[in-house]
């Protein structure tokens, strides 16, 4: 009987940090979430993140193969540095070195952008399992994408391939937090949806909508759309059109077998919007009716699974979840 091996996945987000200890079948053996301390700096990484990793080390010891760290922002995975993560308040943080120095056993630590990690998580354990060509689209607080092409992670020269949330697609579009206008994120994200709802409600001059302004959440807009509220439906239609346009661009450039839609908002709108997204995409691309690109909903149980999947990918070890069961 072969010995079980594990990886530790850590997904560091703006509000919480998700930890998971995953076995090579993709089963989450242990998981935990702690709030992100945005003002804690390097000490927070040493004390809180290091502490959690050490508790896994104590229990699983040498069966742990490595650690995958996923963070938002602009990172240097080779040097192990988060160069700029606005949501974390991190600039030039040597997160890999700091963590290495605070854990009780030497382990390889891999750092990647969160969307890249999620893409690998889908590839090994989720909706991208056994698929050599797919695009992952993460629609959450922000918007990001990743891709596996011919069985390889698409990284690009600066590790920024498919970091398209701040690609400006409408020169007359709304202002974005990054300083530009008409970024994809101004429509396809939780923040974007709330901002667009506020604008629309304000312009309606209808006291019912104007009252909701400034306190509306993305979740509320979804609930209203479900109840066929005309303004919420207009907002959903806009999202579907934008997403369909982005998928048309990516389909033309990458030619994936499937699109996987993830992120909190992405999963919440999946059932309602997929038909409209597909229709919009197909209206904009070269007709290949015999070779359709299908849409799948992300099936990862925790975002930390993607971070854990990095250890297998960068070590060139196929997890059991992908091995031929007849071998």
Cβ–Cβ < 8 Å for 108, 66: yes
| Residue 131 C-alpha from the chain's centroid | 18
- When the beta carbons of 178 and 208 are compared against Zn ion, the nearer one is 178
Does 191 bind Zn ion (CB under 5 A)? Our answer is no
Binds Zn ion by CB under 5 A, chosen from 33, 166, 272, 297: 166
Tell me if 10 contacts Zn ion by CB under 5 A. Answer: no
* 170 contacts Zn ion (rule: CB under 5 A): no
- Note whether 183 binds Zn ion by CB under 5 A: yes
- When asked if residue 297 is in the footprint of Zn ion (CB under 5 A), the reply is no
Cα–Cα distance measured from residue 96 to residue 321, given in angstroms and rounded to the nearest whole number: 27
Give every CB contact of residue 94 below 8 A, 6+ residues apart in sequence: 79, 80, 81
* Closest alpha carbon to 69 in 306, 302, 307: 307
If one asks whether residue 176 binds Zn ion (CB under 5 A), the answer comes out as yes
178 contributes a contact to Zn ion by CB under 5 A: yes
Segment near Zn ion (CB under 5 A), from 98-106, 143-151, 178-186, 305-313? 178-186
Assign 148 to helix, strand or coil. strand
Residue 327, classed as helix, strand or coil, is coil
Contacts with Zn ion by CB under 5 A: the residue count is 5
The β-bridge partners of 137 are 145, 261
187 binds Zn ion (CB under 5 A): no
Please list every residue from 13 through 72 that binds Zn ion, using CB under 5 A.
Answer: none
Query: Of the two residues 37 and 180, which places its CB atom closer to Zn ion in the complex?
Result: 180
Of 10-18, 159-167, 253-261, 302-310, which part binds Zn ion (CB under 5 A)?
Answer: 159-167
Whose Cβ is closer to Zn ion: residue 138's or residue 256's? 138
Judged by CB under 5 A, the stretch of 62-70, 113-121, 172-180, 201-209 that binds Zn ion is 172-180
Nearer to Zn ion, 64 or 176 (CB): 176
Tell me the DSSP string of 232-258.
HHHHHHHHHHHHHHHHHHHHHHH--SE
Tokens representing residue 292 in the block:
């359709």
Instruction: Specify the DSSP class assigned to residue 175.
Output: B
Question: Least distance to Zn ion from the beta carbon of 176, Å?
Answer: 3
Q: Binding to Zn ion by residue 184, rule CB under 5 A?
A: no
Spatial CB neighbours of 119, under 8 Å, sequence gap ≥ 6: 128, 136, 146, 147, 148, 153, 306
- Provide the binding-site residues for Zn ion, judged by CB under 5 A: 166, 176, 178, 180, 183
């Amino acid at each position: 009987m072969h010995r079980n091996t594990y990886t530790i996945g850590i997904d560091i987000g703006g509000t919480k940090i998700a930890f998971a200890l995953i076995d090579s079948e993709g089963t989450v053996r242990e998981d935990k979430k702690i709030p992100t301390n945005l003002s804690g700096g390097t000490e927070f990484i040493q004390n809180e993140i290091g502490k959690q990793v050490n508790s896994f080390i104590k229990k699983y010891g040498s069966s742990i193969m490595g650690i995958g760290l996923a963070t938002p922002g602009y990172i240097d995975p080779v040097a192990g540095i988060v160069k700029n993560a606005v949501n974390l308040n991190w600039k030039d943080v040597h997160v890999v070195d700091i963590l290495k120095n605070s854990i009780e056993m030497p382990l390889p630590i891999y750092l990647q952008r969160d969307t890249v990690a999620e893409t690998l998580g889908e590839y090994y354990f989720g909706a991208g399992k056994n698929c050599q060509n797919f695009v992952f689209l993460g629609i959450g607080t922000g918007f990001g994408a990743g891709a596996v092409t011919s069985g390889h992670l698409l990284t690009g020269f600066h590790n920024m391939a498919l970091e398209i949330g701040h690609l400006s697609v409408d020169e007359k579009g709304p202002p974005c937090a990054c300083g530009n206008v008409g970024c994809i994120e101004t429509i396809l994200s939780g923040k974007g949806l709330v901002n667009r709802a506020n604008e629309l409600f304000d312009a309606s001059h209808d006291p019912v909508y104007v009252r909701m302004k400034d306190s509306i959440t993305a979740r509320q807009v979804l609930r209203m759309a479900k109840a066929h509220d005309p303004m919420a439906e207009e907002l959903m239609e806009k999202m579907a059109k934008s997403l369909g346009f982005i998928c048309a661009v990516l389909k033309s450039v990458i030619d994936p077998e499937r699109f996987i839609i993830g992120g909190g908002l992405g999963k919440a709108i999946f059932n309602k919007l997929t038909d409209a997204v597909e229709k919009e995409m197909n209206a904009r691309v070269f007709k290949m009716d015999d070779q359709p690109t299908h849409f799948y909903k992300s099936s990862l149980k925790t975002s930390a699974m993607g971070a854990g999947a990095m250890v297998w990918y960068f070590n060139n070890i196929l997890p059991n979840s992908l091995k031929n069961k007849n071998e």
